[in-house]
A and B are shown apart, each in its own frame.
Chain A
Amino acid sequence: MAITSEFRHGTIRSTFLVTPRRSRVIAAKVVASLLMGIVFGLVAISISFGVGYAILTGRGIDFALDTGHVVLLVVGTVFMTALWAAMGVGIGAVVRNQVFAVIGVIVWALLVDDLIRALLPDVGRFTPVGASDSVTAGFADYLLAPALGALLLAAYALVVVAAGATLVARRDVT
């Protein structure tokens, strides 16, 4: 939405008029989205941890995660939400239509990616959602190592943002 709303409301023309270097516009939106993603990730992990811990304590269940897992979960979640936010800018720049972009990401993440991981687990751990799981869920046989997953997720974000920036630079603005 950081960029598709600009296409939707026609404000992209003003944006490109005052900042004709379009790659600079995309870079600014990526940085802003990364920051938003970090904030979103911190809020999400704080709420889910707080609620989860309260429920477990209330039921007298021990908190089983060790410090390493907790750190991975916090850092991994923030890293993942930040990169998905950046990917959103790239996807929006490619697709331009806000509805199609949002629906496309939801369908991919909740349906296509899930199917790939269910039917082809060896391939599935390399998908964007598979890579995201590896940086949050931790060490598991069916996932990549967290560091490798982080690198792969960063590569996905880089490719999508680069594709968006390239297309935005080449396309005419209507």
Chain B
Amino acid sequence: MLSIDAIGKRFGEVTALDGCSFNVERGRMLGFLGPNGAGKTTTMRAIFGLVELDTGAVLWDGRPIGPVERLRFGYMPEERGLYPRMRVREQLAYLGRLHGLNARDADAAASEWLTRLGLADRADAKVVELSHGNQQRAQLAAALVHTPELLVLDEPFAGLDPVAVRTLAQVLRDEAARGVAVLFSSHQLDLVEEICEEVAIIDRGRIVAEGNLDALRRASERRRIALRLDGAPPGWEPEIRGADVVERTNGDLRLLVDRDVDPQAVLAAAERTAPVIGFSYGPPSLAELFLELVER
């Protein structure tokens, strides 16, 4: 299990991490969320010893992480780092060997990942000759080629087309199913909601929510109401305390209401205005929860 234990880091006057703590268990996939500059990348770099922490510790199975453990981890940094003039397959095999594979296993693993990530036909191309999306796939393969126990991916979905997103999401699910602890950051909250059971949300260097996503949504002080009205007057909104319209498109309204607001009261107010042809009530989405937590 990866344990981020009360880590703190300052860059001059800026506090990047302020007692940040969370865990990622083997076989689990945790979405690491936060606004820009919240401390996600610094946390990930700290796992690999690339930034020196002022306080706290990063542990693997309860022990401090050293060079030997790090060789068993896979890391996909936000700013990619591959040798531009080296051929893709050769580079992956080389990185595999640096992580302890023998030459034959490294070659086999490189070929396997290139095939799995749809890069087999570009295996002998130089990295610099690949498109942005394919470079990203190659970088992902570099993180996976040595069969890591922990996978840390910084914005792995950024800039990928929908097909590549689906492939990557499946790879992450498969890796978690294999027993790998998977930690990844993303701003694509719909996607995170779809593939993750657990999230950690960081804001200004502190974890503001962590745990099972459904439990976090249910624990929210807000509830989501979706209304579809047939011919509601423009600008209509229920005059109920604690109910806010957050989105309005044609006859569809999305409201966030305080948890103690009676949904029947909202429904009754809507029915007095226009025929209601759709109504749903439930916990907020991850995106709504995220905004609720980081805008506080």
Q: Could you tell me if B50 and A13 are in contact, using CB atoms closer than 8 angstroms?
A: yes
Q: Could you tell me if B81 and A13 are in contact, using CB atoms closer than 8 angstroms?
A: yes
Give which listed residue, B51, B81, B84, B99, contacts A18 with CB less than 8 A: B99
CB distance from B73 to the nearest CB of A (A): 8
B159 on the A face (CB < 8 A): no
Q: Could you tell me if A173 and B83 are in contact, using CB atoms closer than 8 angstroms?
A: no
Binary A-proximity of B50-73 (CB < 8 A = 1, otherwise 0): 111000000000000001001100
Q: Whose C-beta in chain A lies nearest to the C-beta of B95?
A: A14
B77 on the A face (CB < 8 A): yes
CB distance from B45 to the nearest CB of A (A): 7
Q: Could you tell me if B71 and A18 are in contact, using CB atoms closer than 8 angstroms?
A: yes
B82 on the A face (CB < 8 A): yes
Binary A-proximity of B223-261 (CB < 8 A = 1, otherwise 0): 000000000000000000000000000000000000000
Q: How large is the interface on A (under 10, 10 to 19, 20 to 34, 35 or more residues)?
A: 10 to 19
A81 to B114, CA, bound (A): 42
A108 on the B face (CB < 8 A): no
Q: Could you tell me if A20 and B49 are in contact, using CB atoms closer than 8 angstroms?
A: yes
B79 on the A face (CB < 8 A): yes
Q: Which of chain B's residues 18-63 have a Cβ closer than 8 Å to chain A? A: 45, 48-52
Q: Could you tell me if A173 and B51 are in contact, using CB atoms closer than 8 angstroms?
A: yes
A140 on the B face (CB < 8 A): no
Q: How large is the interface on B (under 10, 10 to 19, 20 to 34, 35 or more residues)?
A: 20 to 34
Q: Could you tell me if A10 and B48 are in contact, using CB atoms closer than 8 angstroms?
A: no
Question: Contacts A20-B67, A172-B45 hold; do A9 and B50 have CB atoms under 8 A apart?
Answer: no
Q: Could you tell me if A13 and B95 are in contact, using CB atoms closer than 8 angstroms?
A: no
Q: Could you tell me if A10 and B49 are in contact, using CB atoms closer than 8 angstroms?
A: no
A16 on the B face (CB < 8 A): yes
A13 to B95, CA, bound (A): 12
B177 on the A face (CB < 8 A): no
A12 on the B face (CB < 8 A): yes
Q: Could you tell me if A17 and B75 are in contact, using CB atoms closer than 8 angstroms?
A: yes
CB distance from A36 to the nearest CB of B (A): 17
A31 to B52, CA, bound (A): 27
Question: Contacts A17-B70, A18-B71, A173-B45 hold; do A11 and B50 have CB atoms under 8 A apart?
Answer: no
Binary B-proximity of A145-174 (CB < 8 A = 1, otherwise 0): 000000000000000000000000000111
CB distance from B169 to the nearest CB of A (A): 24
Interface centre among B52, B81, B95 (most CB of A within 10 A): B81
Binary A-proximity of B86-103 (CB < 8 A = 1, otherwise 0): 000000000100110000
Residues of B within 8 A of A9 (CB): 81-84
Residues of A within 8 A of B166 (CB): none
A174 to B98, CA, bound (A): 21
Give which listed residue, A10, A16, A20, A172, contacts B79 with CB less than 8 A: A10
Residues of A within 8 A of B98 (CB): 14, 18
CB distance from B156 to the nearest CB of A (A): 15
Binary A-proximity of B133-149 (CB < 8 A = 1, otherwise 0): 00000000010000000
Question: Across chains A and B, which 6 residue pairs bring their CB atoms closest together, nearest first?
Answer: A10-B81, A172-B51, A173-B50, A18-B98, A20-B67, A11-B81
Given contacts A13-B77, A18-B71, A173-B45, 14 further A-B contacts (CB under 8 A): A9-B83, A12-B81, A13-B48, A13-B75, A14-B81, A14-B98, A16-B49, A16-B50, A17-B48, A17-B75, A18-B98, A20-B67, A174-B45, A174-B79
